[in-house]
Amino acid sequence: MAILVVGSVGYDTVETAAGSRKDALGGSATFFSVSGSYFAPVGMVAVVGEDFTTESVDLLKAHEVDVSGLQRAPGKTFRWSGVYGRDDVNSRETLDTQLNVFADFDPRLSPDHRSLPYLFLANIDPELQLNVLGQMEERPKLVAADTMNFWIDGKMEALNEVVRSVDVLFVDENEIRQLAAAHVGAVNVVRAARFIQNMGPETVIVKRGDHGLIQFMGDSIFAAPAYPLDTVVDPTGAGDSFAGGFVGYLAATGDLGPEAFRRAAVVGSVMGSFAVESFSVERLGALKQTDIAARFRDFGNISQFAPLQSNETLPWRDGAAAL
């Protein structure tokens, strides 16, 4: 089943411990679409400016992303720049965000897009996320969303409405604390996630960079590590690639049960791990199915342990009192 994504498409200028890139193809919808395209058809709703290159459009087309909802407007394409900590890939500072053509974007969904069963509201102005959700013919089977501190700081009201309207919310550790703090003061990640779940989304996925993720679904919790990599070249887009793999897997199987959500989270982690092995979508966009499947299997191996059988207990020391 097909997925519709609304999000940013733009050019990123990044500096990491591995080097730097100027004006590399990026944006939340770009990473999401390329990642999700391995599993399900993806249609994109976004806007670019006159300076958006044919090579960039061709790359999306090469992944069979439906770009009929990618409008071209007079002006410059969205731009973001950031720098990552030399020793800590999880620390990122945004140097500049230029919305450019996104500042006046008025998304118009085609009749085909309005009836797609999976909707991902990627990181973009929450008013645009709501606008797209409002144009859907009927409530999609699954609505998931992502955001960023930029919008928590600047568009809290609209963002609250987004949070109330979705089934799945992806957030990073700092963002969820910031989001919950605006309502209930400082709380730890578990309490923050529980608070956000009470606002609406049944599932909250807290992304913890190279520490992995925690998935809160109803009353249950699932934790997965990040795939251990020798070298992280550029963490940009890890979150959106995670979301692409996650929603892509669910859309491909049509299964929205708890086991499918756990697998989806691991597929997401696999896709995020590929995204950070290069700048832009260079590695993410050049994968073979066998690469993805091998890493997924590996993931099972690195996080597997023998659970206690029902007739088994831990090896207590001799003579210890049974407490």
The yes or no reply on residue 273 touching ligand AMP (CB under 6 A) is no
Provide φ and ψ at 13, rounded to 5°. Answer: -115, 115
Q: Which stretch binds ligand AMP (CB under 6 A): 36-44, 61-69, 156-164, 235-243?
A: 235-243
Q: Which stretch binds ligand AMP (CB under 6 A): 8-16, 225-233, 282-290, 298-306?
A: 8-16
3-class SS letters over 91-157: CEEEEEEECHHHHHCCCCCCHHHHCCCEEEECCCCHHHHHHHHHHCCCCCCEEEEECCHHHHHHCHH
Query: CA 195 → CA 158, 198, 202, distances in Å?
Result: 18, 5, 11
In the complex, least distance from residue 241 CB atom to ligand AMP, rounded to whole angstroms: 7
C-beta closer to ligand AMP: residue 186 or 248: 248
Regarding 77 and contact with ligand AMP (CB under 6 A), the answer is: no
CA distance 116 to 139: 10
Among residues 217, 219, 218, which one has the least CA distance to residue 246?
217
Least distance (Å) between residue 170 CB and ligand AMP: 9
Is residue 57 packed enough to be buried (19+ CB in 10 Å), middle (13-18) or exposed (0-12)? middle
Minimal distance, residue 138 CB to ligand AMP, in Å:
27
- Figure out which of the listed residues 150, 158, 263, 303 binds ligand AMP, where binding follows CB under 6 A: 150
Binding mask 19-58 for ligand AMP (x = CB under 6 A): -------xxx------------------------------
Should residue 269 be labelled a site residue for ligand AMP when binding is judged by CB under 6 A?
no
Residue 123 binds to ligand AMP (criterion: CB under 6 A): yes
Closer residue to ligand AMP in complex, CB, 152/266 = 152
Task: Tell which one of 173, 175, 234, 240 touches ligand AMP (CB under 6 A).
Answer: 240
C-alpha dihedral (14, 99, 269, 197), degrees to nearest 10 = 140
> Please, which residue, 28 or 165, has the CB nearer to ligand AMP?
28
Interacting residues of 223 by C-beta distance below 8 A, sequence separation 6+: 212, 213, 214, 215
Residues of this chain that interact with ligand AMP (CB under 6 A) are 8, 10, 12, 26-28, 80, 97, 123-124, 148, 150, 236-240
